[in-house]
Structures are given as structure tokens and as C-alpha cells.
Amino acid sequence: MKPKVDIIQLGLMDYKEAWDRQTEYQQALIQQKRDPASDGSVTHKLIICQHPAVYTLGKSGSEDNLIWNEEERNQKGVSYYKINRGGDITHHGPGQLVVYPIFDLDQFFTDVHLYVRLLEECVIMTLEDYGIVGGRLPDFTGVWLDGQPKRKICAIGVHLSRWVSLHGLAFNVNNDLSLFEGIIPCGIDAGDKTITSIEKELGRKVDMEEVAAKMIDNFAEIFEFEIIT
């Protein structure tokens, strides 16, 4: 039987509130796994949302990559959190599609590297729907567009506990890219690499609900699950 996934659309939600919601779902899945009376069946979650402007620093990141000080961040209306995902520093903001799979990978596969590659593949497939060719760069997580400079369009950072996933991907669609100037995105300080979005590549905004629907369909195809909501 295919895994069953509940699609949860949170809209625009404060980062900390969404993080708490993710954690609740993750802990509930872990408790189900621990329950000796459980039949082993679980309902996974796929959270779709956007966040008000925020910087988040992963547990392996460096605060040296945070350029704007607290006063500058306050002036720009950008909050800041140190969090428990992998990776370095990134930015979330309105117009960016954020996807948090809360999956028990025991029901899919127990391979972190494959999990990240499949997250990337969901984004690559969604880009194809807009005529954009996305791909990967050796030694750099996420989804990139080729050319000069190389352009990152999606950041990925995850955390696993008892093979239940937390955090996920941040896909630049229509968001304000100028706020990436307050950080060294993902700690990558290189003149041949920059940040982009669907809007920047196409020269027009695209419908966020449409992008979310395409992303959900691509997740269901790549991870081979049944959507229950």
C-alpha cells in the first residue's frame, strides 16, 4: 500500500509558529512508532506555507554569514532564529513557497542522501512546468540554474529524529530577493553564484497557488504516496 499523506496549507504563517506546528506533527509520528499497540500505519504530513521575512541559521552554520545586525534587521522587518535543521543560513519571505514534509521515512526508505535528492527532484519537476531547467551542483545542496553566474532557486535543509523528517525546502517564486543581501546565503560567498526566483527568470509573477498545486502533484509522483486531503 502507498503511504498516506495529509496536505496542510498554512498560508502566510510566522516562522516560529510553523516550526512549532511541524514539531508537534513530528513528535506525534514518533509516538505512533513507539506505541507497541500501533499497527504500523501512520498519516504523514506535507505542510505548504509562506513566512513573513525571516533569517534562519542551521545548526552547522556560522553567524559570520549574518551580515545585517539586529538594528538593520529591525529596520527591514526581518526576524532571526537559530534552528535545528542542517545547513547554514537562509532567508524566507512572502512569495517564497516553503514545503515541510513530515514523513516517517521508515515507510518510504531510510536513506538521507536519497531523501534530499528527491526533494530536489520535486523542485526540478516543478520548474519544468514553467519551462525552466533546474539541476544540481556537485558539493552544493539545493536546486540551481546553469549559466554565469550559477543561480540558486531553492534551498534545502532537513532534520531527522527516529527517521521522521522535519524542515524541508524553500523555493523562490515571487519573493523579494533584495533581503538575501543581509546574509551570505547558505554560507556560499562566491562571485560566480547568486540567488534567483521564478519571477526573475520569467520576468513576471506566477500564481502561488498554482505553483503549490504543481509541487504537491510532483511530491506525490516522486515519493509515490496517496493524498488524503
For residue 190, is pLDDT > 90?
Answer: no
**Residue 166 pLDDT grade (very low, low, confident, very high; cuts 50, 70, 90):** very high
For residue 11, is pLDDT > 90?
Answer: yes
Residue numbers annotated as active site? 186
Measured CA angle at 125 (ends 6, 212), to 5 deg: 40
For residue 69, is pLDDT > 70?
Answer: yes
pLDDT tens-digit series, residues 26-51: 999 999 888 877 776 788 999 999 99
State residue 179's pLDDT score. Answer: 97
Q: Distance between CA atoms of 58 and 138, rounded to whole angstroms?
A: 20
- The mean per-residue pLDDT over the stretch 166-182 comes to 97
Mean of per-residue pLDDT scores for the chain: 95
Alpha-carbon torsion (209, 175, 155, 162), positive or negative: negative
Tell me which residue of 52, 218, 204 sits closest to 134, measured CA to CA.
218
State residue 205's pLDDT score. Answer: 98
CATH number at residue 92: 3.30.930.10
Global pTM reads 0.95
Alpha carbon 32 to its chain's center:
25
State residue 40's pLDDT score. Answer: 67
- Domain hosting 223: range is 4-227
Q: Domain count of the chain?
A: 1
The residue type of 205 is K
State residue 229's pLDDT score. Answer: 66
Q: Distance between CA atoms of 112 and 119, rounded to whole angstroms?
A: 11
- The mean per-residue pLDDT over the stretch 116-126 comes to 98
**Residue 204 pLDDT grade (very low, low, confident, very high; cuts 50, 70, 90):** very high
User: What is the maximum span of the chain, computed from C-alpha positions, in angstroms?
Assistant: 56
**Residue 87 pLDDT grade (very low, low, confident, very high; cuts 50, 70, 90):** confident
Phi, psi of 60 (to 5 degrees): -100, 5
Q: Distance between CA atoms of 102 and 166, rounded to whole angstroms?
A: 6
